[in-house]
C-alpha cells in the first residue's frame, strides 16, 4: 500500500478575492518585466547572428603543431587532441587516473515526499483543496530534509552524506602546441564511467563493490534508508575543436566588429564551417526559447491581473469557470499582440521589412481581440439552410 497522508484545506470566498487582488500587483510586475526581456533578446539575436556571419568569413584554420605569431589576435580554428600529464587522484577510495577531470558522485537512499492537489469550488465562492503527500524511497545525489515533510514521523533521513561529492581538474591541458585556460578546461565535459577495481582496506566493513561502484550498506539488492553508493566518472583526453582569438599560445573570445564575441568549442573533430553552422542553429533556438519565455511572462502577468474577475464569478462555480476560460483567451491574445509589437520594435533598427510584417500581425491580432471582446453572447448562431426559392406562378 502507498505511504500517504491527505490534508484538506478550505478557503473562503472573501479570502480568495483578497489573494487575487494581491496577485494583481505581482502579475503587473511580470507583464512589465516581459518587455525588456523580449527587446533585449532581439538585439542579442541580431548581434550574435551578425558576429557569427562575420567570423565565418574571416576564420583561419591553423595547424596545431606550432604557434604562428603572425596569427596573433586573429580568429583561428584548431582541431587536435586535448592532452594532459596531470594525474588526478582520490585518496579516500584509492583512485588514481591520468585525466582532464575526475568526479566522485555520491548518492544516498532517502525518503522523498511528493505532493499532488485537487481543488473543488464550492457554491458561494469558496474552495476546498485536498492535498495528498506520498512517501517513497529513492536514490538522491543531494540531502533531502525530512524535517520539512508534512508527516516526518517514520520518514526520517540521515543528517549528512557519509562522503561528499568531489571534483579534481587538471591544471594543464594542451591542444597541440596550444594551452587551454582554466575556463576552457571546464568546458570539456564528455565523461565516462570509471569502474572501481579494488576497495581500500580503510573503508568500513559494510562497504562492497557493486557494478563498478562502491556500495555502503548491508544489502545492495534491498537498500535501506541511509545506504550510499559512490561512483566515479572521468573526462579523458580526446579530440577537441576550437574557434577563438589566438592570444599567445592560448585562446580568448574574439570580439567581432558586429559587437558580439566568438568562442566555439566542440569535443570532436569539426570543421570551422560546421562549428559556425551549429552556433547559428543554437542562436536561433535560444532566440525562440527566450521569445517563448517573454510571451509566457506576459500571459501569466495578464492572467493574474484579470484573475479577480474570475474569482468574483466563482460565487457560482460554473460562471467562474467560464470567466476563467475567457480571461485565459483574452490574456493570450493580448500577450501575443504586445509580444509581436515588442519584437518588431526590437528588430526595427536591424531588419525594417521583418519589423513591418510583425507590426501588421500585431495590429491584426489586436483588431481580432477587439472583435471578440465586443461580440455579445448569443449573437453567433448556427446558420440555417438557405431559403427555398418561391415557386413560379
Same-domain status, 113 and 48: no
Same-domain status, 331 and 219: no
Strand partners, 245: 75, 252
Binned at pLDDT 50, 70 and 90, residue 393 comes out as very low
Strand partners, 90: 95
Residue 2 is assigned to a structural domain of this protein: no
Residue 313 is assigned to a structural domain of this protein: yes
CA 352 to chain centre: 32
CA 292 to chain centre: 12
Q: Which three cell numbers stand for residue 145?
A: 530534509
Same-domain status, 99 and 44: no
Alpha carbons 363 and 341: distance in angstroms, whole number: 8
Q: Are 287 and 41 in contact (CB under 8 A)?
A: yes
Binned at pLDDT 50, 70 and 90, residue 379 comes out as very low
Same-domain status, 230 and 89: yes
Residue 275 is assigned to a structural domain of this protein: no
In this prediction, residues 326-349 reach a mean pLDDT of 88
Buried b (16+ CB within 10 A) or exposed e, 172-201: ebbbbebbbeeebbeebeebeebebeeeee
Q: Which three cell numbers stand for residue 45?
A: 539575436
Query: What single DSSP character describes residue 130?
Result: E
Same-domain status, 96 and 26: no
Of residues 331 and 126, more confidently modeled: 331
**For the chain, how many helices (H) and strands (E)?**
5, 19
Alpha carbons 322 and 326: distance in angstroms, whole number: 6
Per-residue model confidence (pLDDT) at position 376:
53
Per-residue model confidence (pLDDT) at position 198:
86
Same-domain status, 225 and 104: yes
Nearest 5°: the CA angle 86, 90, 94 is 110
Is the per-residue pLDDT at 85 higher than 80? Answer: yes
In this prediction, residues 217-233 reach a mean pLDDT of 92
Nearest 5°: the CA angle 342, 345, 350 is 135
Alpha carbons 12 and 161: distance in angstroms, whole number: 44
Residue 248 is assigned to a structural domain of this protein: no
Among 236, 270, 294, give the residue marking a domain's end. Answer: 236
Residue 276 is assigned to a structural domain of this protein: no
Residue 108 is assigned to a structural domain of this protein: yes
Please count the structural domains in the chain.
2
Alpha carbons 369 and 53: distance in angstroms, whole number: 39
Matching residue, cell 570543421: 271
Question: pLDDT tens digits, residue range 95-149?
Answer: 999 999 999 999 999 999 999 988 877 777 677 888 999 999 999 999 999 999 9
Same-domain status, 12 and 130: no
Same-domain status, 206 and 117: yes
Binned at pLDDT 50, 70 and 90, residue 308 comes out as confident
Is the per-residue pLDDT at 156 higher than 90? Answer: yes
What pTM did the predictor assign? 0.79
Task: Map residue 241 onto helix, strand or coil.
Answer: strand
Question: pLDDT tens digits, residue range 43-57?
Answer: 999 999 999 999 999
Matching residue, cell 569502474: 195
Q: Which three cell numbers stand for residue 182?
A: 582554466
Alpha carbons 183 and 178: distance in angstroms, whole number: 15
Alpha carbons 3 and 122: distance in angstroms, whole number: 29
In this prediction, residues 299-314 reach a mean pLDDT of 84
Same-domain status, 121 and 211: yes
Same-domain status, 94 and 21: no
Residue 393 is assigned to a structural domain of this protein: no
Query: What single DSSP character describes residue 199?
Result: -
Alpha carbons 318 and 23: distance in angstroms, whole number: 22
Give the mean pLDDT of the chain.
88
Residue 77 is assigned to a structural domain of this protein: no
Domain that residue 116 falls in: 85-170+191-236
Same-domain status, 105 and 151: yes
Minimal CA–CA distance to 340: which of 350, 354, 321? 354
Q: Which of 33-37, 97-101, 311-315 is predicted least confidently?
A: 311-315
Task: Map residue 33 onto helix, strand or coil.
Answer: helix
Same-domain status, 310 and 353: yes
Amino acid at each position: 500500500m502507498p505511504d500517504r497522508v491527505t490534508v484538506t484545506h478550505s478557503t473562503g470566498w472573501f479570502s480568495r478575492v483578497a489573494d487575487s487582488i494581491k496577485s494583481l500587483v505581482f502579475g503587473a510586475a511580470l507583464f512589465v518585466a516581459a518587455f525588456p526581456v523580449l527587446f533585449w533578446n532581439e538585439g542579442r539575436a541580431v548581434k550574435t547572428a551578425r558576429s557569427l556571419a562575420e567570423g565565418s568569413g574571416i576564420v583561419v584554420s591553423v595547424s596545431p603543431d606550432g604557434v604562428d605569431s603572425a596569427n596573433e589576435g586573429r580568429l583561428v580554428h584548431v582541431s587536435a587532441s586535448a592532452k594532459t600529464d596531470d594525474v588526478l587522484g582520490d585518496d579516500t577510495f584509492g583512485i588514481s587516473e591520468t585525466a582532464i577531470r575526475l568526479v566522485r558522485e555520491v548518492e544516498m537512499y532517502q525518503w522523498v515526499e511528493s505532493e499532488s492537489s485537487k481543488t473543488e469550488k464550492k457554491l458561494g465562492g469558496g474552495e476546498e483543496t485536498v492535498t495528498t503527500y506520498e512517501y517513497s524511497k529513492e536514490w538522491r545525489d543531494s540531502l533531502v530534509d525530512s524535517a520539512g515533510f508534512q508527516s516526518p514521523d517514520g520518514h526520517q533521513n540521515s543528517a549528512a552524506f557519509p562522503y561528499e561529492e568531489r571534483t579534481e581538474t587538471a591544471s594543464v591541458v594542451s591542444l597541440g602546441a596550444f594551452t587551454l585556460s582554466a575556463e576552457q578546461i571546464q568546458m570539456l565535459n564528455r565523461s565516462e564511467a570509471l569502474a572501481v577495481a579494488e576497495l581500500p582496506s580503510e573503508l568500513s566493513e559494510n562497504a562492497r563493490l557493486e557494478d563498478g561502484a562502491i556500495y555502503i550498506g548491508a544489502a545492495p539488492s534491498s537498500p535501506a534508508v541511509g545506504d550510499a553508493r559512490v561512483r566515479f566518472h572521468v573526462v579523458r583526453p580526446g579530440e577537441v575543436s576550437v574557434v577563438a582569438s589566438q592570444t599567445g599560445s592560448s585562446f580568448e573570445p574574439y570580439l567581432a566588429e558586429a559587437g558580439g564575441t566568438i568562442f566555439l568549442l566542440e569535443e570532436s573533430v569539426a570543421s570551422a564551417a560546421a562549428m559556425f553552422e551549429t552556433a547559428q542553429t543554437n542562436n536561433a533556438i535560444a532566440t525562440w526559447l527566450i521569445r517563448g519565455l517573454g510571451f509566457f511572462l506576459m500571459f501569466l502577468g495578464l492572467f493574474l491581473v484579470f484573475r479577480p474577475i474570475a474569482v468574483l464569478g466563482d460565487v457560482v462555480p460554473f460562471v467562474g469557470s467560464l470567466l476563467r476560460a475567457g480571461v485565459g483567451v483574452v490574456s493570450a491574445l493580448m500577450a501575443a499582440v504586445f509580444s509581436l509589437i515588442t519584437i518588431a520594435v526590437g528588430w526595427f533598427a536591424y531588419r525594417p521589412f521583418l519589423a513591418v510584417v510583425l507590426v501588421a500581425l500585431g495590429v491584426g491580432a489586436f483588431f481580432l481581440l477587439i472583435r471578440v471582446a465586443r461580440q455579445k453572447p448569443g449573437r453567433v448562431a448556427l446558420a440555417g439552410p438557405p431559403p427555398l426559392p418561391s415557386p413560379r406562378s
